[in-house]
Amino acid sequence: MTMAARTAADFVPDTADLDELAAAVQGCKGCDLYLDATQAVFGAGSGSAQMVLVGEQPGDQEDKTGAPFVGPAGRLLDKALEAAGIDRDRLYVTNAVKHFKFTLPERGKRRIHKTPSRTEVVACRPWLIQELTALHPDVVVLMGATAAQSLLGTAFRLTAHRGEALRLPGDDESVQLRFDPRVAVTVHPSSVLRGPPSERDKAFDALVRDLRFAAGLLP
């Protein structure tokens, strides 16, 4: 007998009620990331959002406050949305992985973000699928390689597909939705902050352009 891989699937209630989902995610043990994080960080925003943004995983401040994109990456994202003329209050913002993965440097130092593994991304995907199913948005924006690869597969290279209207793969049962959103990809907002200062304006403008493109896909 082969054991099914451990995932969040056993913890995701069959409901389209986002509040119920947000409560249930706090009990998830679909992978080991719940062990060290403060809490799960579910998506947040408008329950009637036509556009959903997906990041990677909560960071240090998100882990402490319980809300997505409230730290440095969130502030950068807010600026980019404003520049693109998109009202964050009308969006729903979430992450591919709901618990913060980090390493602890010496005492007193800030916890360092660690990229989630493929296993963790796949384990957490049922939450993302359930969120998208509940929201059935017209447009999904995948920000960064983790979000893009969660829904588009490991072979997907986002830099080759910026500014394209994509669809979710219809042949992968694990990412099948009962609706067919337009999908756009862009870099993760924190990559703009990490880049060399001389490149930042260009990287920021490209992020704004991608967000504007995604908003243009709205019906």
Residue type, 136: H
Q: Looking at beta carbons only, is 31 or 52 nearer to ligand SF4?
A: 31
Residue 29 interacts, among ligand SF4, ligand URA, none and using kind-specific CB cut-offs from 5 to 8 Å, with ligand SF4
- 154-183 CB burial, b ≥16 within 10 A, e <16: eebebeebeeeebebeeeeeebeeeeebbb
Closest approach of ligand SF4 to the CB of residue 98, in Å: 4
Of the pair 28, 143, the CB lying nearest ligand SF4 is at 28
| Binding interface with ligand URA (CB under 6 A) | 55-59, 62, 68-69, 71, 73-74, 95, 190
Q: Which of ligand URA, ligand SF4, none does residue 40 bind to, with CB < 5 to 8 Å depending on kind?
A: ligand SF4
Q: How far is the CB of 194 from ligand URA (least distance, A)?
A: 12
Give whichever of 93 and 211 is closer to ligand SF4, judged by the CB atom. Answer: 93
Give the relative orientation of helices 197-215 and 72-84 as an angle to the nearest 10 degrees: 60
Which of residues 128 and 184 has its CB atom nearest to ligand SF4 in the complex?
128
Compute φ and ψ for 184, nearest 5 degrees.
-125, 150
Query: Residue 137's binding partner, choosing from ligand SF4, ligand URA, none, with beta-carbon cut-off 5 to 8 A by kind?
Result: none
Binding partner of residue 58 among ligand SF4, ligand URA, none, CB cut-off 5 to 8 Å per kind = ligand URA
Cα–Cα dist 182/170, whole Å: 13
Beta strand segments in 67-211, E: 91-95, 102-103, 112-113, 139-143, 182-186
Virtual torsion, Cα 195, 139, 92, 98, nearest 10 deg: -70
Count of residues making up the chain: 219
Query: Closer to ligand SF4 at the Cβ: 123 or 217?
Result: 123
The residues of the shown chain that bind ligand SF4, judged by CB under 6 A, are 8, 25, 28-31, 33-34, 40, 97-99, 120, 123-124, 127
Which pairing describes strands 112-113 and 102-103: parallel, antiparallel, or unpaired? antiparallel
